[in-house]
Amino acid sequence: MTGAKLIMNFPVTATSHTLADYRARGGYKTIEKVLASMRPEDVTREVTASGLLGHGGAAFPVGRKWAVIKPNDGQPHHLCANADEGEPGTFKDRWILEHAPHLLIESMLITSYAIGCRHSFVYIRGEFDLPYRRLQAAVDEAYEAGLLGQPLAGTDFALDLFVYRGAGSYVCGEASGLLTSIEGKKGYPRNRPPRLTVRGLYQRPTVVNNVETLSNITGIVAHGAEAFKKTGTAKSPGTQLVSISGHVVKPGVYEVEYGYPLPKFIYEDCGGMLGGRKLKALIPGGISTKVLTGEDIAPLTYDHASFDQAGSSLGSGGMIAIADGTCMVRLLQVMLRFYHHESCGQCTPCREGMGWMHRIIDRIVAGQGVPQDIDRLVEISNANDGTTICGMGDAAGYATVGIIAKFRDEFEYFIANKRSKCNGALEVEGTWHA
């Protein structure tokens, strides 16, 4: 695969998520290969050599994370697949859960073997219905087939896998908050150090990886690290699933090779902007990433280095295209309402700061803003940066500072004239978007 491909156009049948269909395509052959010919450290070494980066937002080298755990240290180890996917604009993991749940399960078997794990978990977003039912049915099939819960292929390796359904908290998408929730406590993130690979779930060494990250493992081990590195760039090997929404002609989930030209992806693969309008702004990786303007994306390729140089990041792959005519003040209002609602309240800067920011933006949109409000939003964002246990306070600040830096004139106009510079709405092909 090269370039970008619309994942949702892949042939998906009524049985593509089942064990029979997965096995017909060679499923579970890789775990058999691993158990027959590879030691746990061999698997970790292969994943490390592939250069696979985490696809949940942080882009941390996967092999490096695994290597912290010593398989024979006498402790129980745990593996958790993060399927919370609560970042607004992100829905690529959902595709895997609905259409390829056995790929995730086989990859978790391989990963558990590599890190010496006997009990693993999938923490799935509470609002996911079909993904949950598909995943749980796949787990049940795997148990019935003897792939889970008992020793495999004449070895002493066995794995139990539990699907844990969250209750709708965005902050539980953060790794330590996720673990706290599984333990039955309030989903508060934890201070680190110690790292989760040292003291994680039930105070035992734990690996937490995103669904898409783990789903790469089977292919890497089956075909080798060198084959994996033939796609993408030297620093960002492989591909990433990108869920794009907003004002594009063809929204959906795409598989994009790292290094692929971003303008080509937007204007050719996604069909360009609805109604032939200009691209005003692009949220590249979920609303926690800094916004880029239509002009910013012209020289960019889809990889971590390119986006870092542009002052943003790939994040969790949730791209939102925003057409000319959209009010950026109202857009920020929607974002800050979300962050304020989802703050867990553990950290004072986030708990109080989110409320202040939400009230300020509401006041501006109500026509009661003053010029100092713009700088207040920036000041609160900067004060929150690095002062909270998890990155939520930082993320809200990135979104706020990013939008104000690129579109400050719209905030000044709104305050001075008590209305939007964009007349408050965008009409695209008969649909009104506030």
Q: Which CATH class is domain 239-323?
A: alpha beta
What are the boundaries of each domain within the chain?
4-229, 239-323, 328-433
Stretch 5-17: mean pLDDT, rounded? 69
3-state class (DSSP) for residue 80: strand
* Topology of domain 328-433, CATH: de novo design (two linked rop proteins) (1.20.1440)
CATH architecture of 4-229: 3-Layer(aba) Sandwich (3.40)
Q: Which pLDDT does position 296 carry in this prediction? A: 96
Taking the C-alpha atoms of residue 214 and residue 177, their distance in angstroms, rounded to an integer, is 19
Residue 7 has pLDDT above 60, yes or no: no
Taking the C-alpha atoms of residue 132 and residue 403, their distance in angstroms, rounded to an integer, is 35
Residue 318: φ, ψ to 5°: -95, 95
- The strand pair at 292-293 and 426-428 is best described as unpaired
Taking the C-alpha atoms of residue 252 and residue 424, their distance in angstroms, rounded to an integer, is 26
Q: Could you tell me which residues come within 8 angstroms of residue 24 by beta carbon, excluding any fewer than 6 positions away?
A: none
Cβ count within 10 A of residue 431: 10
Give the tens place of pLDDT for each residue, 86-136.
Answer: 999 999 999 999 999 999 999 999 999 999 999 999 999 999 999 999 999
pTM: 0.93
Residue 114: φ, ψ to 5°: -65, -35
Give the tens place of pLDDT for each residue, 305-316.
Answer: 999 999 999 999
Strands (E), 218-278: 239-246, 252-257, 260-261
% of the chain at pLDDT higher than 90: 89
